[in-house]
Structure 1
């Protein structure tokens, strides 16, 4: 029996084409770290490669976990199925964004939400617009659904969105009538915050061409204001074809909880996305942690302030290293490269010294450009990183 012929076409497409992301489920990350430590005789490896809030969870969560009654509460709830309508969390998010609580669907992280959206709306030979560089999971999931991914380039060498970028996107929409456009805002991986007016301009054009607009705001809490959420959710009622995605994996420091959600005013679309989720996508513990985390606005503001101070110090230090080009950012991640040293070589040199970075050299739109990405950590750890980069960059 030829097992290849027994696979569904969707599975064959998924196996045949993978984007050049820096994270792969086929790689045993802990085994890789163990190898680095053994080869270099290292006692510690610093992970600057994964985008997350390295300050950790809110003190509210730490406080709840330290209560004597928490163990009893966990034991009692672990033997029950969780609330698969997420009623309290739904209300909390709806109040924050000023939307109808019915206008959202939940999934096991944004990766699951993106997969559910693709399953709900894409068919073979549909076209999907993909401004690049961008979050590679959009590309993977769209291709897996059989859609043709149409990249639209930003503006090199810094790969920023400009007025020309928006004009190109709108022109391609007019010409191709794509089914869907994926946007990350702030942009992943560059960290650039797009003005909401830009999102609205694209929504206006998409309305004319019958294109669905998905805006991934995974890093949105890094660019929200102290007294207001800065989100495309303000346009949901005006544009029913708009979907806005957020997660608890970044600012809220709950990547293991896997709580992602999409907000959209079109109830038919929400129902379709929900149709492709498991009945119980989130364990009770994940729901509880998210409900606690979203209550601590002061902690989020503190983290946002720390991140700004670290960024203001780190960027000049990186840019002072001979040969290093570091791009400006609005989040807690920084893209950088060396003008003479390849990305692969620089990545390896840093890894050998115990500093892991995200190697973006295979990401669509910046292939072969030599870009790496680091996630800011504490000021002390950032200082170690800068010192090590300075040592290996021109060795």
Structure 2
């Protein structure tokens, strides 16, 4: 019997152009060089260092022992939909009908299903940048065209997103505007007044809004970040995406959700069926426990992040060639570092010389050149250690 032929070197060239155009994660390029090194302080990925709380893992265990290991509804358990409705009422004061929720395989799958539902090949999606790269790549996977609108920065180090910049990017092919607030990687938080203005613009121009609200609880000096659900009617062209990953230290559980307009339950039932056929049933029971019992853990996480944020903002501001933009929300610092290197080369050097893993700014678009992104969802002790290591390599001002 002859051996199976090996893949031809040019086989990738036969794939559709919109798949060939999907980018490679620069965060992964850096992480792959150090992820197995126990000495590295790993601050490159949006993941805290706390374990999933016991009350969540125990809920999953009880569900498995009770036989909750079989198929269920493609949009998720009705009990989980009700827990999500209660959660949104409790934190944002909004009434969202339980049939407007779909459970997804993490926030990424929520973004992907939103893109599948809304965009045809050639449609344009407007994305503020620097941005989480998965937003643009999900659009490309579906044949859509990302159109980036750069954030502006003010004299006091804040990022802004003027509405006129978004409006100037609209063309006849525009279909969707993406908002990620609080933002990964900039830490920008969209004020309620600007959300209202963008909603008015979207209504006038028949645009959809995808609002990625995964970091809503992570704000510093402010109340919980506002949600578009506080402004929109049930039939507005809005999809909100979210995840259990950040609030409850559940990144590896791959559980998320979306909120879609009234009347689209059947659409997202089908998309859920053909994407994942729902997520594991016992994980959904754990998600119910997170929603119903996890508000105290969220407060612990946010308080811990606030302390580590202060340590890193202060420590990084003292480094030679470094300009820090203190984030209003999320748990990242986007710092400008002037060393004459590309941000990717700098990230490799800091990994090699400081044993600190950071994300290169260009992982979030070309506007990120000259920046690095640092995740501070770690213990204050680890934040101090990271600052000390970076100080030894970069030096003080």
Q: TM-score per shorter chain, which class? A: 0.7 to 0.9
1:60–1:96 distance in 2 versus 1, CA, 3 Å: same
**Equivalent in the alignment of 1:301:** 299
- 3-state secondary structure, aligned to 1:106: strand
SS for the counterpart of 1:89 is helix
Aligned CA RMSD, in angstroms, stands at 3.2
In the alignment, the residues of structure 1 paired with residue 224 and residue 348 of structure 2 have an alpha-carbon distance, to the nearest angstrom, of 41
Report if aligned partners of 2:27, 2:44 keep a CA contact under 8 Å in 1.
no
Residue 90 (structure 1) shift: 0.9
> Does the 8 Å contact 2:85/2:97 carry over to 1?
yes
Q: C-alpha deviations, 1:307-357, integer Å up to 9, x for none?
A: 222222321111011211222112221112322242233312321243211
Contact 1:344/1:370 (CA < 8 Å) preserved in 2? no
2:364 match: 363
1:340 aligns with 2:339: yes
Q: Are 1:195 and 2:187 an aligned pair?
A: no
Measure, in 2, the Cα distance between the counterparts of 1:5 and 1:31.
27
- TM-score scaled by length of structure 1: 0.84
The answer to whether residue 35 in structure 2 is matched with residue 33 in structure 1 is yes
| Contact 1:346 1:393 survives alignment (8 Å) | no
Alignment-derived partner of residue 313 in structure 1: 311
Give the alignment partner of residue 271 of structure 2, picking from 265, 273, 276. Answer: 276
Structure 2-normalised TM-score?
0.84
Please say if 1:106 is aligned against 2:103: yes
Which structure 1 residue ranges, 5 or more long, are not aligned?
Answer: 38-42
* Distance of 1:359 and 1:15 partners within structure 2: 24
Give the distance between the partners of 2:309 and 2:220, measured in 1 at CA: 16
Counterpart residue number, 1:58: 53
Equivalent of residue 74 in structure 1, options 52, 60, 64:
64
Would the alpha carbon gap of residues 365 and 167 (structure 1) be closer, same or farther in structure 2, given more than 3 Å must change?
A: farther
After superposition, the C-alpha distances for 1:62-94 in whole angstroms (9 at most, x for unaligned) are 6657xxxx46x5244265334543211111111
Q: State the distance in 2 between where 1:52 and 1:61 align.
A: 17
Q: Tell me the residue number matched to 2:135.
A: 138
Match of 1:129 in 2: 126
CA offset at residue 14 of structure 1?
4.3
Deviations 1:79-137 (A, max 9, x none): 53345432111111111223111112221112111111111121122121111111211
Structure 1 counterpart SS, 2:303 = helix
Match of 1:266 among 245, 262, 266: 262
Query: More deviation in 181-190 or 145-154?
Result: 145-154
For residue 92 of structure 2, what is the aligned residue in structure 1? none
Question: 1:321–1:227: structure 2 CA closer, same or farther, 3 Å change rule?
Answer: closer
More deviation, 216-225/131-140: 216-225
The answer to whether the 8 A contact 1:241-1:266 is kept is no
Partner of residue 291, structure 1: 288
Shift of 1:388: 0.6
Query: Paired residues, what number?
Result: 376
Which residue of 59, 77, 90 corresponds with 1:86? 77
